[in-house]
Amino acid sequence: MKILLIGGHGTIGKRVAKAFAERGHDVVIAGRKSGAVQVDITSKVSIEAMYQSVGAVDACICTAGTGFYGPFDDMTAELMMPGILGKLLGQVNLVLEGQRYLNPGGSFTLTSGIAAEHPARNGTCVAMINGAVNSFVLGAAQEMTRERRINAVSPGLVEDSKERYGAFFPGYNLAPMEKVVNAYILSTEGAVNGKILKVYS
Amino acid sequence: MKILLIGGHGTIGKRVAKAFAERGHDVVIAGRKSGAVQVDITSKVSIEAMYQSVGAVDACICTAGTGFYGPFDDMTAELMMPGILGKLLGQVNLVLEGQRYLNPGGSFTLTSGIAAEHPARNGTCVAMINGAVNSFVLGAAQEMTRERRINAVSPGLVEDSKERYGAFFPGYNLAPMEKVVNAYILSTEGAVNGKILKVYS
């Protein structure tokens, strides 16, 4: 299977890349600055150029994108825009543009996160973005043609982020990397469509 | 109670306005072209001007905002932007800007919709927006200070829209207007916080 993985050098992405490579797939990594192909997912032009460079794929997985974390009182729509243009509309455009490059039977796998249901303090922007990604997937799954599928993986606080982000998520269980990776495998190699694959612990 | 109602001349809004007036509240209606105050919720400047004109309120209810409906294959991020800037970021800005005008103990009530969970065909953009509003409310509710609260009403296909939109929602039950209005009353006069008040049928 030829798999395009956007964000393949991130915390989750590098685990996903390794797992799919070990399973014998041809993984093409796209990243902002690294990877076989460069892409800025906030730009539709850049996404289109990436797909043209990579060509037809059997799966497109996105583990890229983040959003504003900070005090609610100081939050503004401006501070929210990078996340909206990236993790939200970036992933939306990966699907809208990617439809022409995804082979029949192929799948999109987007990444949302636990904040959609259980936001931490200071996490309202990310909550909003993750909730949007989840509901986008529910709608898009119904519109897929030629046996193509789309799902979202919604990870909790992942093990590999414990040191960097753990302090911001008191009381959140760690999501084992193996279970997180398995969700991407289920979405890509399985038959599920329109699922929010929650890996919260 | 002094209630600011944005979208008070819309299908749901006019029912909500009538109900709160009958319950003895002072309802100030804001609308794009009608109402006591004009507001364009896609503009932060316009929202700020509205709040300055109206002054402190005990409740802010938004029933305004819509989003793109149309074939998924033709959908683009550009077509999605009016809904993102209106129903999504418009409502977000009503909260972020409105915090300084909402009295202690007051409430925000936003409007999402059934598409967040059960999108109809062609409704992926609206699904995304509604899912975003719901998760925003979950996050924002935790950040409210001075006993202020925030909830979302998530209506299904409302009775009053049957004629206009019913054909686009085959198999959707009608949500009785009285139950929809009750959800706004529960959010505003009740004690609930961080709830998605679903009125699907």
pLDDT reported for residue B34: 87
* Torsions phi, psi for A77 (to 5 deg): -60, -30
Kindly determine whether residue B116 and residue A96, on different chains, have CB atoms separated by under 8 Å.
no
Contacts of B140 in chain A (CB under 8 A): 72, 124
SS3 B30: strand
Kindly determine whether residue A135 and residue B130, on different chains, have CB atoms separated by under 8 Å.
yes
Kindly determine whether residue A128 and residue B135, on different chains, have CB atoms separated by under 8 Å.
yes
Nearest to A127 among B127, B128, B136 (CB): B136
Looking at the DSSP bridge assignments, the partners of residue A175 are A158
Pairing of strands A37-38, A149-155: unpaired
Closest CA to A196 of A145, A106, A135: A135
pLDDT reported for residue A34: 87
Q: Give dist(CA A79, CA A67) in Å, integer.
A: 9
Contacts of B138 in chain A (CB under 8 A): 116-119, 127, 131
Closest CA to B47 of B103, B90, B82, B86: B90
Residues in chain A: 201
* Torsions phi, psi for A105 (to 5 deg): 80, -5
Kindly determine whether residue B135 and residue A125, on different chains, have CB atoms separated by under 8 Å.
no
Kindly determine whether residue A121 and residue B142, on different chains, have CB atoms separated by under 8 Å.
yes
Neighbours of A38 (CB within 10 A): 14
Closest-CA distance of chain A to residue B19, Å? 30
Across chain A, which has 201 residues, the per-10-residue mean pLDDT values are: 97 98 98 94 98 98 95 96 97 98 98 98 98 98 98 98 96 98 98 98 98
CA of B72: which chain A residue's CA is closest? Answer: A143
Contacts of B126 in chain A (CB under 8 A): 139
Count chain A–chain B contacts defined by CB atoms under 8 A.
119
* Torsions phi, psi for B30 (to 5 deg): -115, 140
Q: Residue ranges of chain B with pLDDT lower than 70?
A: none
CA of A84: which chain B residue's CA is closest? Answer: B84
pLDDT reported for residue A15: 98
pLDDT reported for residue A138: 98
Burial label for B34, CB within 10 Å (0-12, 13-18, 19+), is: exposed
DSSP B119: P
Give every strand in the sheet of A102-111, ordered side by side. A37-38, A26-31, A2-6, A57-62, A102-111, A149-155, A196-199
Mutate to test the interface with A, among B41, B43, B128, B195 (most CBs of A within 10 A): B128
Return all residues near A83 (Cβ < 8 A) that are at least 6 apart: A65, A66, A67, A68, A125, A126, A129
Mutate to test the interface with A, among B88, B100, B135 (most CBs of A within 10 A): B135
pLDDT reported for residue A105: 98
Q: Give dist(CA A117, CA A154) in Å, integer.
A: 10
- Contact by Cβ (8 Å): B175, B155: yes
ipTM value greater than 0.95: yes
